[in-house]
C-alpha cells in the first residue's frame, strides 16, 4: 500500500523589491491559501488601525480583540471567513463593493442567512428584482435604524410604546426611576431599559406582593388585625427616643442629682436662641421627648418635644390607644411601653423579613396598580419584539463585513503581506500624502503622533527626515517626510511648505525637527567644499561682528566721556591741549618681517606649482587625486549610508512590525522625491533684467590666469635670472698649517701658511 501523498501546495509567485522577495497576491486562490505561506516571507507582521490611509471600519472588523492593531492571525481569520461565505474566492479579487447574491454560498447556515438578509434589504429599498447588493444599501439600512420603532438593540424607551398605551409607558418610566436606564444604540442621550432591568423590576414587585400577603395572613390573629402593621410602623418611628426617655428617668430615679444634668441647660437654650430654628433642626430633635423627672411617665399630648409631637400623636392613636384600650391617653409608663413592645414583637419580625428591593421610591398605590394590571406582559412583549430584530442586525452586520472585505481585503494584503502597492508606486496605505517644500515634492510621508519618540528609532533608517507640524482650519497633525533626492542646503527648522493629504486637502506645514543623512553621491561630492565655504563665511561674519561690537563700544565710551565732561573744565584746559604731531612712522623691522613672510609664502607656492608642472602628462591624474582626497571620504560615507537606507525603522517607529529590511535604493529614492523641472515644451526667456552682472568676476579671473601664464613662461625661459641674484656656493677651505722657520734656534718661529692659494711667509726677525 502506497503512503498517502500530501496535498499539492499552492504555487506562489514572488517579485524582488527592496532587497527581499515579496509574494504576489492577485487572485482568489492566493487569498484562500494565504495560511500556507510561511510568515517569515511576510513583509509586515503587524500594523496599527489608525494613522494609515485605509478604511477604519474595515480595520475594526478585522481587529477582533479591539487592541488597535492587526496581526497575522486576525488577517488570516478574515480571509478564511470571507472565502467560506462565497462560492468562489475569486470574488475577493474583483474590484468594487457590489456583490451578486448568487455568489454567496447559501449551502451553509450563515451563508443562507446572509443571502436572505440581502434580499430583505433590497425589498425594503423597493428593489426586490435586483440580483446584486451594494455596501451603500446595507449602510442605508443602518441609517434608518434611528427612525425605526424596533431597531434590534434589545433596548426600549417610553416612546417605544404607543401613545395610548399608558400602562406600558408608565411601567417603563417606573423601571427607569428605580433601576436606572441604558441608552439605545440610536440615541445615547435617551434613557431606555433592557430585558435585565425589566425582569428585575417585576421580580421585586412579585416579592413584595408575596411578602404583603404573608404579613396580612399572619396579623389576622392579633388584636389589631390588619392594623398591626400600621401600629408597628408608628411604634418604630419613635422607639429610639422613647427608650432614651425612659433610660433618663430611671437614671434620675437612681440619683435625683442627675435630673438637672439630664435635662437641657439654660446655656443650651441660649445657644439655640441665636440660631434660625425649625422643628427639624438638629438642636431640637436631639433634645429628650419630654422633661426628665425621676421615674416619670412619658407625656403623649402636652409638654412634649415639638419636633416629635406629630410622631407621638401617630404613636398614641395607632398603637397606644388600640392596644391599651384607652381613649385619650395622656401618658405612657415604662411598663406599658414594654407591654406594647411585647405585643408587637411578631409583627416586628415580619417587618424584618421584608425583602430588600429598590421599589421604596414608589408609593404603595403605584405598586398595587402595577401588580393588578398587565403591565409586565406589555413591557416584555415590547422587548421581545425589539429583540426579534436583533437577528436581522447581526445578519446585516455580516453582510456589511463581507462587502467591505470584498472591496478592501486584497488591497490590505498588498500593503501587509507584501508592499507591492509601494514599490509599484500605486500609493501605499502608510503614505499620508505629498509634501511640497524647497522646490521639490516628497511622496514618502508618514503620519506621526509623537515626533520626539518617532525620531529615536527612525534615525536608524539612514534617510534624511524632516518632521513637520501641519495645520488646517484649527486641526493639527504631525508628519515625517523623507528627502531622498536633491540637495539639502536650504532645509532647516522653521521652513514652511504645503502638505496635500490623500483626500486632496491642503495643510500648512512647518519643519520642526531634522535628521540629517546624505541624499545622493552627488550631494556628498560637493559637501566638503560647501562646508569649507560655509566655515569661511561664519569666521568672517564672527570677526566682522566682533569688530563692529568693539567699534560700537569705543564710540559709546567716547560719547559718554564727551557728554559727561564739564564745559568749564574744558575751557580751562583748552590751552593745555597739545596738538598731535606727525604720526609715527612704521617700523622698518615690521616691513621687513612682512616682506619675508610674503616671500616665503611665494616661494612655497612657486615650488608647489613647479613640482606640479613637472608632472607633465600626469597633471590630470594629480587633479583627480586632489579631488578624491577632498571628496572621497564624504562620498564613501554617503555610499555606505545609501546602501543602508531602509523603510523599516520609519514604519516601526509608527507602530508597524516590519519583517524585512525594505531598502530604498537611489532609483526608488529619485522617484519618491522629485525636484522642480521646467516642462519640455516650455519657452524660457533668459534675458533677466535684474540678473547680477558677471563681468567683474570674469575680468578678474582673466587677469589672474594671464599673470600665472606669463610668470610660468618667464620662469621656464629664465627671463627672470637677471633680476634674481645668483647664489654662489663657496667650497670648504682647509685649515692653515704653520711650519717653523729654518736655522733660527731659540728665535721666534716663522709662520708659513700652506694652502691652495699663494703662500705668504712671515718675515724673519
pLDDT of residue 693: 64
Name the pTM for this structure.
0.65
CA distance 715 to 720: 6
Least confident among 104-118, 461-475, 735-749: 735-749
- Does 599 fall in a domain? no
Q: Do 240 and 304 fall within a single domain?
A: yes
**For the residues 654-671, what does the mean pLDDT come to?**
85
Q: How confident is the model at residue 214 (pLDDT cuts 50, 70, 90)?
A: confident
Exposure string (b/e) for 521-538, b if CB count within 10 Å is 16 or more? eebbbebbeeeeeeeeee
Stretch 517-529: mean pLDDT = 74
Q: Considering the domain boundaries, does residue 758 fall inside one?
A: no
The yes-or-no verdict on residue 663 having pLDDT over 70 is yes
How far apart, in whole angstroms, are the C-alpha atoms of residue 499 and residue 226?
84
Highest mean predicted confidence (pLDDT) among 81-90, 618-627, 669-678: 81-90
- Taking CA atoms, 720 is separated from 598, 703, 717, in Å, by 18, 20, 8
pLDDT of residue 34: 95
pLDDT value at residue 759: 40
550 in a structural domain = no
Average pLDDT over all residues of the chain: 82
Question: Is the residue at 31 inside a domain?
Answer: yes
Whether 728 is in a domain gets the answer no
My answer on whether 232 and 126 are in the same domain is no
Q: Which residue has the higher pLDDT, 164 or 225?
A: 164
State the residue range of the domain holding 246: 224-267+279-357
Q: How confident is the model at residue 57 (pLDDT cuts 50, 70, 90)?
A: very high
Residue at which a domain ends, from 625, 660, 675:
675
- Find the mean pLDDT for residues 586-607: 73
pLDDT of residue 586: 54
Of 158, 207, 215, give the one whose Cα is nearest residue 187.
158
> What is the band of 504 on the pLDDT scale with cuts at 50, 70, 90?
very high
Label residue 756 by pLDDT band (50, 70, 90). very low
Residue 597 has pLDDT above 80, yes or no: no
What's the whole-number mean pLDDT along residues 650-678?
Answer: 86
Mean pLDDT of 165-175: 89
Number of domains in the chain: 3
pLDDT at residue 567 is higher than 60: no
Q: Which three cell numbers stand for residue 670?
A: 529619485
Q: Rounded to whole angstroms, how far apart are CA atoms 549 and 121?
A: 83
Question: Are 322 and 396 within one domain?
Answer: no
Q: Write out pLDDT tens, residues 283-310.
A: 888 888 888 888 888 888 888 888 888 9
Strands 433-436 and 440-442, sheet pairing: antiparallel
Per-residue pLDDT tens for 141-153?
878 776 677 877 7
pLDDT score recorded for residue 549: 86
The percent of residues in the chain predicted with pLDDT above 70, rounded, is 84
673 pLDDT exceeds 80?
yes
pLDDT of residue 60: 95
Residue pair 249/292 in contact (Cβ under 8 Å)? The answer is yes
Q: 559 to each of 129, 565, 573, how far by Cα in Å? A: 100, 10, 19
Q: What is the pLDDT, as a whole number, of residue 133?
A: 94
For 525-559, what is each residue's pLDDT tens digit? 777 777 777 788 788 888 888 888 888 888 888 88
pLDDT at 443 over 60: yes
- Residue 753 predicted with pLDDT over 60: no
DSSP β-bridge partners for residue 332: 298
Q: Judge if 244 and 324 occupy the same domain.
A: yes
Instruction: Give the model's confidence band at 361: pLDDT under 50 very low, under 70 low, under 90 confident, else very high.
Output: confident
Confidence check: pLDDT of 363 > 70:
yes
Q: Give yes or no for a contact between 462 and 657, defined as CB atoms under 8 angstroms apart.
A: no
Indicate the range of 89-93, 207-211, 611-615 predicted with least confidence: 611-615
Does residue 52 have a pLDDT over 80?
yes
Give pLDDT, residue 579: 45
Q: What is the mean pLDDT of residues 239-261?
A: 87
Nearest to 497 by CA among 442, 552, 537, 447: 442
Strands (E), 375-492: 433-436, 440-442, 445-448, 464-472, 475-483
In a domain, 580, yes or no: no
Q: Same structural domain for residues 125 and 230? A: no
Bridge partners, 156 (sequence order): 193
Classify residue 246: in a domain, yes or no: yes
Q: Residue 749's pLDDT is what?
A: 44
**How many CA within 13 A on the CB side of residue 685?**
4
Looking at the chain, the whole-number percentage of residues with pLDDT higher than 90 is 31
434 in the same domain as 400: no
Determine the pLDDT at residue 548: 82
Of 294, 336, 335, 295, which Cα lies nearest the Cα of 316? 336
> Within this chain, do residues 25 and 89 fall inside the same structural domain, yes or no?
yes
Residues 144, 235, single domain; the answer is: no
Q: Say if residue 439 is in the same domain as residue 339.
A: no
pLDDT of residue 587: 62
Boundary of a domain, candidates 332, 357, 382: 357
Q: Are 44 and 143 in a shared domain? A: yes
Residues 324 and 437 in one domain: no
Residue 657, domain member (yes or no): yes
Q: Which of 309, 336, 357 is the C-terminal boundary of a domain?
A: 357
| pLDDT for residue 275 | 79
- What torsion do the CA atoms of 270, 275, 280, 284 make, to the nearest 10 degrees? -10
- Between 413 and 520, the more confident residue is 413
Q: Are 337 and 409 members of one domain?
A: no
Please, what's the b/e burial string for 635-669 (b: 16 or more CB within 10 A of its CB; e: otherwise)? Answer: beebeebbeebbbbbbbbbbbbebbbebbbeeebb
Amino acid at each position: 500500500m502506497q503512503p498517502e501523498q500530501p496535498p499539492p501546495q499552492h504555487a506562489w509567485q514572488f517579485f524582488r523589491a527592496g532587497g527581499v522577495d515579496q509574494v504576489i497576491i492577485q487572485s482568489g486562490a492566493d487569498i484562500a491559501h494565504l495560511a500556507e505561506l510561511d510568515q517569515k516571507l511576510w513583509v509586515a507582521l503587524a500594523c496599527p488601525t489608525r494613522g494609515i490611509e485605509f478604511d477604519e471600519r474595515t480595520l475594526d472588523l478585522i481587529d477582533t480583540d479591539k487592541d488597535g492593531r492587526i496581526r497575522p492571525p486576525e488577517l488570516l481569520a478574515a480571509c478564511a471567513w470571507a472565502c467560506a461565505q462565497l462560492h468562489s474566492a475569486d470574488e475577493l479579487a474583483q474590484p468594487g463593493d457590489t456583490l451578486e447574491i448568487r455568489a454567496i454560498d447559501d449551502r451553509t447556515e450563515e451563508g443562507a442567512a446572509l443571502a436572505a438578509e440581502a434580499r430583505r434589504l433590497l425589498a425594503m429599498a423597493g428593489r426586490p428584482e435586483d440580483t446584486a447588493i451594494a455596501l451603500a444599501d446595507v449602510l442605508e439600512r443602518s441609517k434608518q435604524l434611528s427612525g425605526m420603532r424596533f431597531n434590534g438593540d434589545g433596548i426600549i424607551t417610553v416612546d417605544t410604546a404607543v401613545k395610548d398605551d399608558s400602562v406600558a409607558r408608565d411601567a417603563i418610566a417606573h423601571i427607569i426611576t428605580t433601576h436606572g436606564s441604558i441608552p439605545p444604540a440610536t440615541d445615547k442621550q435617551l434613557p431606555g431599559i433592557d430585558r435585565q432591568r425589566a425582569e428585575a423590576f417585576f421580580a421585586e414587585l412579585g416579592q413584595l406582593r408575596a411578602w404583603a400577603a404573608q404579613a396580612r395572613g399572619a396579623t389576622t390573629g392579633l388584636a389589631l388585625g390588619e392594623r398591626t402593621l400600621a401600629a408597628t410602623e408608628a411604634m418604630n418611628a419613635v422607639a429610639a427616643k422613647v427608650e432614651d426617655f425612659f433610660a433618663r428617668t430611671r437614671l434620675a430615679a437612681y440619683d435625683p442629682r442627675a435630673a438637672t444634668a439630664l435635662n437641657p441647660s439654660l446655656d443650651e437654650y441660649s445657644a439655640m436662641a441665636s440660631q434660625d430654628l425649625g422643628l427639624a433642626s438638629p438642636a431640637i430633635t436631639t433634645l429628650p421627648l419630654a422633661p426628665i423627672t425621676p421615674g416619670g411617665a412619658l407625656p403623649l399630648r402636652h409638654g412634649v418635644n415639638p419636633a416629635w409631637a406629630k410622631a407621638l400623636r401617630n404613636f398614641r392613636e395607632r398603637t397606644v390607644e388600640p392596644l391599651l384600650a384607652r381613649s385619650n391617653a395622656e401618658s405612657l409608663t415604662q411598663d406599658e411601653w414594654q407591654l406594647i413592645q411585647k405585643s408587637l414583637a411578631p409583627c416586628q419580625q415580619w417587618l424584618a423579613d421584608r425583602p430588600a428591593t429598590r421599589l421604596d421610591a414608589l408609593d404603595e398605590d403605584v405598586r398595587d396598580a402595577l401588580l393588578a394590571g398587565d403591565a409586565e406582559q406589555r413591557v416584555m412583549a415590547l422587548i421581545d419584539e425589539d429583540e426579534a430584530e436583533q437577528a436581522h442586525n447581526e445578519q446585516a452586520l455580516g453582510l456589511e463585513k463581507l462587502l467591505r472585505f470584498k472591496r478592501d481585503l486584497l488591497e490590505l494584503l498588498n500593503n501587509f503581506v507584501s508592499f507591492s502597492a509601494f514599490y509599484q508606486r500605486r500609493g501605499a496605505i502608510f503614505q499620508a500624502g505629498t509634501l511640497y517644500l524647497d522646490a521639490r515634492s516628497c511622496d514618502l510621508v508618514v503620519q506621526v503622533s509623537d515626533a520626539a519618540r518617532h525620531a529615536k528609532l527612525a534615525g536608524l533608517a539612514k534617510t534624511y527626515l524632516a518632521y513637520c507640524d501641519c495645520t488646517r482650519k484649527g486641526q493639527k497633525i504631525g508628519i515625517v517626510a523623507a528627502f531622498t533626492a536633491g540637495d539639502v542646503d536650504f532645509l532647516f527648522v522653521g521652513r514652511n511648505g504645503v502638505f496635500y493629504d490623500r483626500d486632496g486637502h491642503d495643510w500648512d506645514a512647518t519643519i520642526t525637527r531634522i535628521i540629517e543623512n546624505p541624499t545622493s553621491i552627488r550631494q556628498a561630492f560637493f559637501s566638503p567644499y560647501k562646508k569649507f565655504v560655509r566655515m569661511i563665511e561664519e569666521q568672517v561674519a564672527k570677526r566682522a561682528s566682533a569688530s563692529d561690537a568693539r567699534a560700537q563700544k569705543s564710540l559709546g565710551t567716547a560719547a559718554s566721556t564727551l557728554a559727561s565732561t564739564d564745559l568749564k573744565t574744558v575751557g580751562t584746559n583748552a590751552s593745555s591741549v597739545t596738538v598731535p604731531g606727525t604720526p609715527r612712522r612704521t617700523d622698518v623691522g615690521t616691513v621687513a618681517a612682512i616682506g619675508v613672510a610674503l616671500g616665503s609664502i611665494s616661494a612655497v607656492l612657486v615650488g608647489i606649482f613647479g613640482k606640479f608642472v613637472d608632472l607633465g602628462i600626469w597633471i590630470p591624474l594629480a587633479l583627480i587625486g586632489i579631488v578624491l582626497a577632498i571628496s572621497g571620504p564624504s562620498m564613501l560615507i554617503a555610499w555606505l549610508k545609501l546602501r543602508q537606507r531602509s523603510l523599516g525603522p520609519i514604519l516601526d517607529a509608527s507602530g508597524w512590525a516590519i519583517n524585512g529590511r525594505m531598502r530604498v535604493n537611489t532609483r526608488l529614492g529619485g522617484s519618491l522625491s522629485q525636484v522642480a523641472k521646467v516642462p519640455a515644451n516650455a519657452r524660457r526667456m533668459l534675458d533677466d533684467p535684474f540678473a547680477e552682472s558677471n563681468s567683474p568676476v570674469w575680468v578678474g579671473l582673466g587677469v589672474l590666469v594671464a599673470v600665472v601664464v606669463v610668470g610660468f613662461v618667464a620662469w621656464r625661459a629664465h627671463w627672470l635670472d637677471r633680476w634674481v641674484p645668483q647664489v654662489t656656493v663657496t667650497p670648504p677651505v682647509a685649515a692653515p698649517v704653520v711650519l717653523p722657520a729654518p736655522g733660527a734656534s731659540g728665535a721666534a718661529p716663522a709662520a708659513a701658511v700652506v694652502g691652495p692659494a699663494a703662500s705668504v711667509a712671515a718675515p724673519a726677525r
